[in-house]
Amino acid sequence: MEQFTKTLFLCLALSLTNGAPAPPDDAPVVDGDANADLPKRCDGLEFDATTLDDNGKTLYFKGAHLWNDYHGPAKLSNDLFKELDDMHGIGHVDAAFRMQHEDHYHTYFFLDDKVFNYHNHTLEDGYPKDISEEFPGVPAHLDAAVECPKGECMENSVLFFKGHDVHVYDISTKTVKTKTWDHLPVCTSALRWLEHYYCFHGHNFTRFHPVSGEMSAGVYPKDARRYFMNCPFFGHGGDTKPVKCSEIKIDAITTDDAGKTYFFAGPMYMRLDTQRDGLHAFPITRGWKEVTSGVDAVFSYAEKLYLIKGDQVYIYKSAAHYTLIEGYPKTLKEELGIEGLVDAAFVCNNDHKLHVIQGKKVLEVDLTATPRVVTQDLPLPFVDIDAATCGPEGINLFKGSQYYHYESPMLMAMSRIAPVPQAVTSAMLGCQD
């Protein structure tokens, strides 16, 4: 990977991750002393509640105020949610969580013994309600709450925290089971983010398992200011601007069997199906710790993710967290019957045929065969493809900030003239148009 590409993607990573560069919270106030008395989250505050909103921005509550996303000054909570009015005695937000209703999200706020249900910052009819009416068996004056969908919990549930007790509310049966997690710090707020669960306490956070409460010994707590907000002298910092789509270059892209779409560039990767949780770039080693120097190509097949680097193939089980299959990596020759370096690779849905791009040719490999061998060697009407993916709308071959589209593998194989290139857009890769 060229240094230019590494630097470029690092700019993208910094612009989209939790440590996104922005004016620090303690920067001089432009409009005089108007905001002089606002709380400063970078002072190490303990939040009353945290949650994602409908659009994937994180809300942090403290007293009568909230912060909307990772940077910027505090504002009154009722500026965004007018019914949450501390000035009229309702009280500060004790707990909050976001839950999906069909194809949209609702955000719930808990204040004393009341619950407020918002959609697009508008209070739903009939709210606020008593907590006991909306969530029977759940106590009032909560410390924290977080949603837990089926697959991560046994059933679609909400975890309600009060002291060391965790009240697990089953959404379908409206029943509660109470656990005691003495090993976990008392959570003053909680957050589910990219299928991980975080307990905030003081200015620190601890990641935990939503079923057992288990946490990684010796790893936590960590300072939230390094991960969940932009603060001077914490996290990445810097003066980086979002990368433009006209400048983007990726190494590989794929969608796994669970519908999660990943793209890779240099030492980083990003999940593209998480717009409602925000687009965030991470080191590749965070998800695939054995792959330490980037990837050349990736593809998904039979609930496994294949990462190719040089002449090595790494195969991971596509469970909740990827696990390298014993005996890997293996060479391209051993695993796929291919020699030489790979530019890109893809498998279409419900197909057993792997398409490998090398220079100006496409090799087809039958993934059901043992051993695997190349079955076809087809020409490609251009060279230097960076990445490729196949989805319901066809095939996209990426080359720099442009891509070539084919409606099917058959049309790609038959084509002798390159289609008109199209520009990568922000909707595709989260860059800036």
* Residue 360 included in any domain: yes
352 shares its domain with 425? yes
Q: Check: CB of residue 21 under 8 Å from CB of residue 12.
A: no
pLDDT for the residue 69: 81
195 shares its domain with 283? no
* Residue 90 included in any domain: yes
Which contiguous run of DSSP H or E holds residue 426?
helix 426-429
- Measured distance CA(430)–CA(228) in Å, rounded: 20
163 shares its domain with 249? no
Q: Print the domain residue range for 295.
A: 245-429
Q: Check: CB of residue 332 under 8 Å from CB of residue 311.
A: yes
Does residue 106 have a pLDDT over 90? yes
Q: What is the residue whose two structure tokens read 């990568």?
A: 424
104 shares its domain with 58? yes
Which pTM value belongs to this model? Answer: 0.69
The end-to-end CA distance of the chain, in Å, is 24
Could you tell me the two tokens for 231?
């603060």
222 shares its domain with 249? no
pLDDT for the residue 35: 60
pLDDT tens for each residue of 390-422: 999 999 999 999 999 999 988 998 888 889 999
Q: Supply the CATH number for residue 291's domain.
A: 2.110.10.10
| Mean pLDDT for the stretch of residues 25-45 | 58
pLDDT for the residue 36: 57
Q: Check: CB of residue 135 under 8 Å from CB of residue 146.
A: no
Number of structural domains (the chain) is 2
300 shares its domain with 255? yes
Task: Among 198, 226, 254, identify where a domain stops.
Answer: 226
CA dihedral over 23, 27, 30, 36, signed as positive or negative: positive
* Residue 17 included in any domain: no
* Residue 234 included in any domain: no
Task: Among 193, 226, 259, identify where a domain stops.
Answer: 226
178 shares its domain with 280? no
pLDDT for the residue 9: 43
- Measured distance CA(165)–CA(174) in Å, rounded: 18
269 shares its domain with 380? yes
DSSP assignment of 125-173 equals TT-SEEHHHHSTT--SS-SEEEEE-BTTBSSSEEEEEETTEEEEEETTT
206 shares its domain with 277? no
Top-confidence range, 61-65, 286-290, 363-367: 363-367
367 shares its domain with 271? yes
pLDDT for the residue 374: 94
pLDDT for the residue 231: 81
CB atoms within 10 A of CB 184: 19
pLDDT for the residue 90: 62
* Residue 240 included in any domain: no
- Measured distance CA(53)–CA(191) in Å, rounded: 11
Does residue 2 have a pLDDT over 60? no
pLDDT for the residue 342: 97
* Residue 50 included in any domain: yes
User: Residue 147: which of 197, 183, 214, 110 has the closest Cα?
Assistant: 197
272 shares its domain with 383? yes
pLDDT tens for each residue of 187-246: 999 999 888 899 999 999 999 999 999 987 788 999 998 888 878 777 543 334 567 888
* Residue 210 included in any domain: yes
Which of these ranges, 72-86, 147-161, 224-238, has the smallest mean pLDDT? 224-238
211 shares its domain with 266? no
* Residue 284 included in any domain: yes
Strand positions, DSSP E, 310-401:
312-317, 323-324, 330-331, 344-347, 353-358, 361-366, 374-379, 387-391, 394-399
pLDDT tens for each residue of 331-359: 999 999 999 999 999 999 889 999 999 99
